[in-house]
Structure 1
């Protein structure tokens, strides 16, 4: 008897267990988005990767944009936990900030796909991190608040800091560590001096800049 050469259809998971399905769908979507690009990805393609029917996928997410928002939310939650765990037992303000930023870079470079998708989500009209309609709804706001607190403690341990300057410094600090993280992810052989050396130099410059605003020092203002 001649053997059949037809391929069996990709098996689909049994109905139910929604709490387990969502992480699987997000992981599958992240693979497809990263491999094929968001613009070219269809819900049908995500469903196939996740092993569910297109109709079944719509039970969980109304669109691929909604899937990306969920990936972004989970990434910010994971990043927040990762950086917070890194400094949980650190008392010294400077060392805490150094460990915080080091953990940020480590998270980004060990989770490049989710980091890219999250930080570039504004390119496809999903809500921008840090710029929602309401500050209370900001995804990632808790992580940014931790950075604000670390910088404030470094300048004014007595909590009498200038909130405007602290916010400016926090945004600038994030821009530096985000830029380094993105370059380390996307540019082959960057930095040529080695990521640890480059990170150390970046941290030294960040700390020096922040300390220039300590009481009794002449901060650089324009």
Structure 2
């Protein structure tokens, strides 16, 4: 069975390759262009040139740059949830404080993801075109954390919606300010992280 070469042709264009591989190339190139020029400065033509294909070829994979951005966001979000899930113990609650421990680990994973993957985080949460489904999945993760705490602590009248927004806002705020460096950048964010998480969780217990 013959395999198409992905080397650039004499015209400077890449030969036709596997669809999944080409989509991955497009997404990698788009991340570079979005980060380098911002949303407004990014065009299909620039992405195509970065990949080494024609704009027409790129349109065979994505409708427009918004669809590309949403796909990048979805992948970045999947990585965030994977890390958060890996940080959460799978065992059921066995002692008082387990829910708080799980909450700390999920919040820690969220913040570390943002600090360690600045470009992906900006694309997910700071770009002007964000799929609402991404925000909804993130909110549901924090709502589950709040519900876990309320169940363990017997907080029957806890407002899980408010608690979820409170926790997410705190984590997002620390990451966003750190990426912009008004709080001293990455190293200072790491120093602030434990105290920030403690304060947020105490706020949930007091609400």
Q: TM-score, structure 2 length as denominator?
A: 0.82
SS where residue 22 of structure 1 aligns?
A: helix
The answer to whether the Cα contact below 8 Å between 1:152 and 1:159 also exists between their aligned partners in 2 is no
Bigger Cα displacement from structure 2, 31-40 vs 183-192: 183-192
Distance in structure 1 (CA, Å) of the matches to 2:51 and 2:157 = 49
**TM-fit CA distance, 1:209:** 0.8
- Equivalences for 1:46-195 in 2 at 5 Å? 46-89=47-90, 91=93, 92-121=98-127, 123=128, 126-129=129-132, 138-157=133-152, 161-162=156-157, 165-187=159-181, 190=184, 194-195=188-189
1:70 to 1:159, Cα distance in 2 relative to 1, 3 A = farther
Distance in structure 1 (CA, Å) of the matches to 2:11 and 2:87 = 41
**TM-fit CA distance, 1:191:** 5.4
Q: TM-score, structure 1 length as denominator?
A: 0.77
**TM-fit CA distance, 1:166:** 0.6
Distance in structure 1 (CA, Å) of the matches to 2:11 and 2:32 = 17
Point out the structure with the larger helix share.
2
SS where residue 60 of structure 1 aligns?
A: coil
1:178 to 1:53, Cα distance in 2 relative to 1, 3 A = same
**TM-fit CA distance, 1:88:** 3.5
Distance in structure 2 (CA, Å) of the matches to 1:140 and 1:81 = 16
For this pair of structures, how many residues does the alignment match?
A: 194
- Equivalences for 1:188-207 in 2 at 5 Å? 190=184, 194-207=188-201
The answer to whether the Cα contact below 8 Å between 2:29 and 2:51 also exists between their aligned partners in 1 is yes
CA offset digits 1:10-47 (Å, max 9, x no partner): 85433131111112211110111111122122211101
Distance in structure 2 (CA, Å) of the matches to 1:192 and 1:54 = 38
CA offset digits 1:166-215 (Å, max 9, x no partner): 11110111011001011112216615983233111111111111111xxx
- Which sections of structure 2, spanning at least 5 residues, go unmatched? 1-8
**TM-fit CA distance, 1:140:** 4.6
Q: CA RMSD in A?
A: 2.5
SS where residue 134 of structure 2 aligns?
A: coil
